[in-house]
Structure 1
Amino acid sequence: MSKLGTILDQIDSGIVLLPEFQRGYVWNRDQVRGLMRSLYLGFPVGGLLVWETEADHGSVRGSDHVGGGVKHLLLDGQQRITSLYGVVRGKPPAFFEGDPAAFTGLRFNVEEETFEFYAPAKMRDDPTWVDVTELFIDGIEPQIGNLTSHPDTMPHFATYMGRLIRLRNILEREFHQEKITGADKGVDVVVDIFNRVNSGGTKLSKGDLALAKICADWPEARSTMRKHLGTWSTAGFQFNLDWLLRNVNAVATGRAQFESLEGVGSGDFAQALTSSERYISGFLDVISGRLGLDHDRVLMGRYAFPVVSRFLHLNGGTFADATQRDRMLFWYIHAALWGRFAGSTETILTQDYDTVARSGIDGLITSLTRWRGGNLVIDGQDFEGFGRGSRFYPLLYLLTRVLGARDFGSGLELKSEMLGHLTSLQVHHIFPKALLYKHGYGRSEVNAVANFSFLTQQTNLAIGKRPPEEYFAETEQKHPGALESQWIPTDPQLWRPDRYLDFLAARRELLANAANGFLAGLRDGTKPAAEPLRPVVVVSEEEVDDVRAGQVKALVEELVAAGCAEPALDSEIADPATGRLLGVAEAYWPDGLQPGLGNPVVLELDANPELARMEELGYEVFTSVDALRGYVARRNEQAAGLADPEPLVEERDTGAQTTTGSESAPVVLAQSGGDQGTVPDFERAMRGVYETARREAGYNATYFLGMVAEHGGLATAKKLLASPVVSDGFAALWERGRLDLTVEALVVMDEHESLFTPHELDIARHRLRQFDFDTTARR
């Protein structure tokens, strides 16, 4: 057992440290608040697991000024001890990697015995809100003066002082420590123990273990690798340590398994890292200049890079000529399009390393062709994917850049050297989303890759929501050939909404023909060399006409602000056993909502028969924005000590009905009568709408009935309006063209307006107008 104060002193003296393989700090403010509340109330907060060893500088983090002797390396308890150190000392420990805002500015209310982070409007000049860090650093005496200087606090002075002493005494709290000792406990054994203990978090990978061993001999290895990652990030490409380590392993050993690095000395590793950085940077230049794939969103086939690195290493560091380079690009594009490395990555990499060593690029192409059943030809049906997570979205961008696609507004090719100050491009929906939804098409059809084109931001704004039968005719008249340059079918009959599916089929065929022609040129050496393409800026289009996109955007902003990680958007989820595509997630947290804590999280809003397989693979799957928001809110409440400390039951839904666990729910509108502004009348209207929505819109809002029964109609409406994002019910009714059946439409009716504040009414009107609903028509 060790007192908290003693543990913090040991961190200051360099006795308690982190092993290099530990992940960084990932807690959020609610978790810190919950920990402090539990300690203050005397609740159990768990023990610590430490590795007692004579650690060297390379195996621990933040060890620049650490002396010799036995060290205690934290294996379990990092997040708790780091949080407490930050709160008590007012700064992060030397081994810290993360966001210190999670524990900065904590206040304790001596009257209510609650913890909150500093809010100036609420806490300024209020002596009952005590700065927790100041209390630990300066002691009790300054607080005596603060409290006695305000007459209102004097009657409770003794009580308040007792509470402050109780809070400060958490430094005396004993933490049980279990220790791993013994000369036989090397890094690999300890990592295995760590993974067993850390069953609720993200496991350390073989790459983490390999890098930990390398750092023991070369302490600068991790920082050097991060420097390279930072350089590529500045250029617009995001990679991680594990990916870079695979490239280094390919160069150093020619093997895919990380265990192969055990026999690589620090000098050889450093040299292989230097070579890998050069190969990767050079190939990125080739991909950007030759294929136009100039930013992270369109970067294809990341795990083809180690194969390229291996080839270049065996080939003297460069391509022999342009023909060899283009044949590698042919292989690279096809490997990415068909998910060559989506399944058993190490097995496929091993095969390709052996192939490239034996027969070079020709062997790679032959092997890939055989793996594809003898077919490396793109069919129009291959472009049937939807969303920017589709494997064929980057190919559309590639074709746009390399084949001289022209802007509909200016008629100029979409190359930065020609566009000048108009170099910002946007993804353009050829058939506007609102138009397609109005005609009853689903999300996957609306967001089909074949409905995308790239235009300058200025042209995209000028076109707005006009139907293609209008602006196509103008484009053809002003800039002949511009439509064909973007593979637009020239039959005007296909430009009508009722022929939309025929339009998609025709454009898919045009795209497939263009792609096959370009790729054949790369393979055969007949694609003429050109000046390298200069990068262009692709900016996101405003998604104001797509409720689902707006929901996801608001959700991500909310979760990131709450301390969750940034997710990958429109991300493919593949079966690791077979490489089969399981779905395209609207948002995907591969390392959990907080890295190192929990399983991968998938938000998949479209009906998908593969969701059960995702859950079988260990993904936390949510098919509702509301369900994920509710889950995170309950998790944070529990972390903050606001909920009962029981095991959290994750309420998710992977079927067609997606309201389980939601804090928001669909609210629909029916005709109502009665006196203006009465709560009973509004209650009857809220309760009567279920049948209206089910009968007229085909939407079964059963969870809504539960909300009304639990909270009442008025409270339910106010709860929905207070949410930063529209509910799943609003989105579902919008997709059905029935915004008149939403709670927002009910709220703004004359007979109910008086029940709501001006701010709530503004929210309701804004949401409705944002999606072209006439709020005056219902008055």
Structure 2
Amino acid sequence: MAKTFESGDVPLADLLNQARQGVLQLPDFQRGWVWDDDHIVSLLASVSRSFPIGAVMTLETGNAEVRFRPRPLEGAPSATATTNPKYLLLDGQQRTTSLYLALRSGAPVRTRDTRKKEVERWYFADIDACIDPDADRNEAILSLPADKRRLSSRGELLLDASTTDAQVRAGKAGLFPLDIVLDQNATLDWQYAYLQAGPSMDQQLQIWKRFQEALISPFLHYSVPRIALDQKTSKEAVCQVFEKVNTGGVELTVFELLTATFAAEDFRLRDDWERRQATWADEPLLADLDATTFLQIVTLLWTRSRWEERMQERVRGDRVPGVSAKRREMLSLPLSGYKGWADAVTDTLQRVVRFLHGERIFRARDLPYSTQLVPLTAILTLLGEDAFKPAPRAKLRQWYWCGVFGELYGGTTDTRFANDLQDVLSWIQDDGEEPRTVRESQFQAERLLGLRTRNSAAYKGLYALAMKRGGRDFRTGDTIDAKAYAADSIDIRHIFPQKWCAANGIDSGYANCIVNKTAIDGQTWGYIGTNAPSKYLAAVEADLPVDSQDLDAIIASHDIDPVALRQDDFRAVFDARYERLIRQIEDATGRPVNRGDNHGSPFAEYQGGAALARSIQALIMAGESKIVEFKSTGRKNLSTGQKDRAIEWAVTKTVAGFMNGHGGTLLVGVEDDGNVLGLEEDLTVFTKKNTDAWEQWLTQLLILDFGKGAMANVTVRFSSIDSRTVARIDVAPASEPVYTLRTKTGTKGSVFLARLNNTTQELDGPDAFAYQHNRWFK
């Protein structure tokens, strides 16, 4: 590979003259000059002792592919702004600018003192201190105000260097102005005045010779090591080199580099970005969207459009540039590519907000992965409004949640951006295979126990899903939307308070994980405090206009068993909710959760046995409500003794009502008055008279009536009550409207059923639209 740089020394005087003439300038992405007075004094002292001050790095201009807008060094003549530089200074700006201002600008240096106060300074060499071998050279370099006088606190004149005559007589042996040290003619004039000032010219000459050797010669002969990058150096290499040598420790962003590049074409990228950013300044969800992320989205779209063009034009065997948002491609983004896509991306951000609000993500801090905004925005840009049609939106949702719960956007994501853009578009538009992110997504069940803070994407994801599936505002009972979220200070909070858990022997790991947390408003949180659920629920009912049934419905909408919660039964609540969260993840991702060797929650014994029987008995005692319904049988007509579609429809209807409502529990084998009939009557119409056969029938019934996806919302368990078998069917709220695939008679047909108070009703037309809007889409 050909060498793209040279190294050698450049005389300090030549380097500063290049800056004065505009031959050497800065690339516009360089940050401003910031050195203070002490730094400048120390630098001048080092040069005067011929100490090394580090190398500078320059880039030769003239490469059409690496065009940066130049700007003169601080203090350089204004006329140099119109000069086309031969070199750009990549490293050494602070040192070079400081030396230029102090030695060649001809003006006082505008800098700062130790208190960060802005000051103007001239720099002088104390001749006596410079020729003293034991003197500190830093103390020999004097910094004087703009009037070249030093005053006491009382205003008395301590030192005057305002004129040449004053300078040659100041101090013990004179103060030499360093702003002329590289100007031989000016130095000769000053030397002549100096020789005339002393009592003896011969004595003055001896002092001058020693001073010339100690300070003037080091300045005149000082050379700076320089690494010179030639024209063949790529833009990416320039950026990488700059960051490696940038001793300020602040990374050069692609945005700054492109700002300089576009400025060469008279386009102000920073102004354009600030204008765009202002259009979403009031949107909390986009608060952290920075310029680099925006450029990644634009680059991803630009490279895809380039890929499409090349695919159409290519000859067999030709290499086609890939789709990418990696740094190399971002640095290659032309101004035409930016202009071609920036407006579309800006417009699409409103669709991004719309999509994420639909998933109940309302603030930047609640985004599981901010990085996933890049492919999401690019996908929505290309799909437009088609993305919100039912089938594309379902696939988009699945891809999004697979990225979240597969925790696939937490590491290096550049390659995944491109893969997801291509894969998802093919999946949606061409019915292609599942995206890699969907195929690779896997969630471990025990991970639920480790989700304790917002640092985890999956933690935030479950929080959003709880609201998406119908988790209602504890204070108002309304479905949580963006307005309620902000107005009621809704946040992730404990169901069983931490202190209560500690006092009741609950392991802190279980107490603080996501299973024991849900979306709770600030006012309700005030009731919770450190109280047991039985106490804080009673307080809520006493102070707010809400009855027990309504409050239980709100609790159930969060996948919390209200009966167990009112009994302060942490283990039962935890176990049931653990299983529900697993089902939610499976429903959102369309992927099975990996349970490993652990088949359930840490309190899996609450799945059955005495605990389940107690919970069913408590439900029976409380009676039917908005979230509890009893059915004598699921299939058998007790009057005819035969299988009956109407009886089956009653089960379907109740399950649909709970899914389209806020969840609930159906007990089969219990009559309306609470009398336990048991499934034994139902089983008489089955060939195999056992609960396995009954559950298989129920599963098949619900699949025929709703499709396989609905089964993620349904959990079936059996228990013996008074020596009779009762089926407990827990139904979770659905994340989308659920329609039946068959009618009451069993023929094909779409029916929307909703839970209204204690009954389930069929809704259509405006009524169905209004209900769905309030339940899911407002």
Instruction: Judging by fraction of residues, say which structure has more strand.
Output: 2
TM-score, structure 2 normalization: 0.49
TM-score, structure 1 normalization: 0.49
Which gives a bigger RCO, structure 1 or 2 (Cα 8 Å, sep 6+)? 1
